[in-house]
Amino acid sequence: MRRALIGLGSVVGLAGVLTACQERLTSPAECPGLCPGGEQTLFESVLAPRAGLDSSFHTYVAPGQGAALLVSSGLAVSEDRAVYRFVTLQDSIAVRDTARAYVVDSVLITLNIVARDTLVDGLKVMLFRLPPTVDSTATFESVDPQLVEANLIDTIAVPDSLHVGQITTMLRGSEVDRVAIPKGTGGVLAMGVRLTAAAPTGIRIGSLAAGNGATYVSYLTVDVPDTGSTRHQFLSRATQFNTFVTQNRPAPDPTLLTVGGDSSSRSIIRFALPPQLRDSATIIRATLELIPAHPLLGLPGDPALLDARAVLADLGAKSPITTDASFIVTDSLPQGSSDTLRLEVTRLVKLWQSSTDRPPAIFLILRPEAATFTRAAFGSTNPASPVGPPRLLITYQLPFPFEIP
């Protein structure tokens, strides 16, 4: 009996050891009855940008330096043609330490489709030979007239099932003459790209900057007379330069905040955070509202991304902006929408509170820059703006009124 009691006591004691260290203090409460200090009260405030200090800046990325090139056919937003110029192709190759002439048997040209409107079928990509001197000074007016039958290299039918990926054409026999580079002309091939389709549409194709620009491969036969044999080799040439040209490039409206477009515009919006918010408020939610000046233009099915980024120092157009993903808010811009755009920028506003070094400003960037058809313009504080300016909706709470005995 005595041992049994001791054993029972040991079990009880051990259970006590295992459970007693736990602390559980949470109990239900009905505020404000039981809550010392009362309830947490939320406030909402609307901040307007500093008048006249919201601006747009342009040409951060030149056409062709972005992640894609634009080619379109009858698209409402813009009419575009792409231009590729390839790395120089030498007119001889070395075989057994001897430079020897070669004969081009066939040529493979490859392009990468990055995006398309999948609802439009019957796309045909037309390749035209351009002078090897084409460069960044090319304009739509200088390029488009050369995209005629006489300069046609080939037409590539894009399968309707192909959304993203390579399209190629192989030139053989007499077709090779369309890309033939006579000796002594520098060995440079350049070509222009245009599009036809069953309906107005556009495509985005690979670029040098993205590492997926066009390539052309020449398959060669080298005659080696000393041995009476022939050698088959190939030479691959990548894009050396590329750009796209736009018809009737619209000049950004100075009364609006413009982002994107072939001008790769960016906008800055500056706010003045009231002392009450800066010093003692806890920001619960901050929403940046942008009112489009017109329906968002772009390629259907290929939305661009709008970034709202924290500004590290306010230096106007050259303001350094954050690359920390924590302080970048991204949303897609659906083509055709004219609804007010709302971006949740709570972290950015909290950054303004926590660091006096960070100006209370937001930079708007459209991605991919200089590589999307999308062009957006939002109302500004300019009195001539056809729609209202941006605004910042802030939900916050003041310090909790802890009950002081």
Chain residues binding other proteins by CB under 8 A are 6, 9-10, 12-14, 16-31, 33-40, 42, 44, 282-285, 344, 346, 393, 395, 397, 399-405
Question: In the bound complex, what is the minimum distance in angstroms from residue 399's beta carbon to other proteins?
Answer: 6
The residue ranges of DSSP E strands in 80-136, in sequence order, are 80-86, 93-95, 98-100, 102-116, 124-130
Looking at the Cβ atoms of 25 and 119, the one nearer to other proteins is: 25
Torsion sign across C-alpha atoms 317, 323, 327, 330: positive
Nearer to other proteins (CB atom), residue 325 or residue 404? 404
Nearer to other proteins, 119 or 404 (CB): 404
Give the CA count within 13 Å in the CB-facing half-sphere of 346: 8
Report, in Å, the least distance between residue 280 CB and other proteins. Answer: 10
Q: How far is CA 106 from CA 48, 202, 268, in A?
A: 63, 29, 52
Cα-flanking dihedrals φ and ψ of residue 336, to 5°?
Answer: 90, -10
Dist CA 205 CA 372 (whole Å): 10
Alpha-carbon distance values, 322 to 118, 307, 388 (Å): 34, 11, 27
What's the closest the beta carbon of residue 39 comes to other proteins, in angstroms? 7
Smaller CB separation from other proteins, 145 or 405: 405
Report, in Å, the least distance between residue 395 CB and other proteins.
Answer: 6
Compute the distance between CA of residue 87 and CA of residue 70 in angstroms, rounded to an integer. 21
Closest contact distance (angstroms) between CB of 350 and other proteins is: 8
Interacting residues of 345 by C-beta distance below 8 A, sequence separation 6+: 286, 287, 288, 308, 329, 362, 392
- Whether 62 and 249 have beta carbons less than 8 Å apart is answered as no
Cβ at position 312, least distance to other proteins in Å: 22
The angle formed by the CA atoms of residues 156, 192 and 135, to the nearest 5 degrees, is: 155
Residue 16 or 159 having the CB closest to other proteins: 16
The alpha carbon dihedral of 136, 138, 143, 146 has a sign of negative
Instruction: Give the nearest distance from C-beta 135 to other proteins in angstroms.
Output: 48
> Comparing C-alpha atoms, which of 63, 206, 181 is closest to residue 125?
206
Residue number with CB closer to other proteins (135 or 344)? 344
CB of 77: closest distance to other proteins in angstroms?
A: 31
Of residues 284, 291, 300, the one with CA closest to residue 380: 291
Q: How far is the CB of 288 from other proteins (least distance, A)?
A: 13
Closer Cβ to other proteins, 153 or 277, answer by number: 277
Nearer to other proteins by Cβ, of 219 and 396: the residue is: 396
Distance CA(403)–CA(251), nearest Å, equals 60
Tokens of 116: 């398309």
Nearer to other proteins by Cβ, of 13 and 52: the residue is 13
DSSP state letters, 199-228: SSEEEEE--TTTT---EEEEEEEEEETTTT
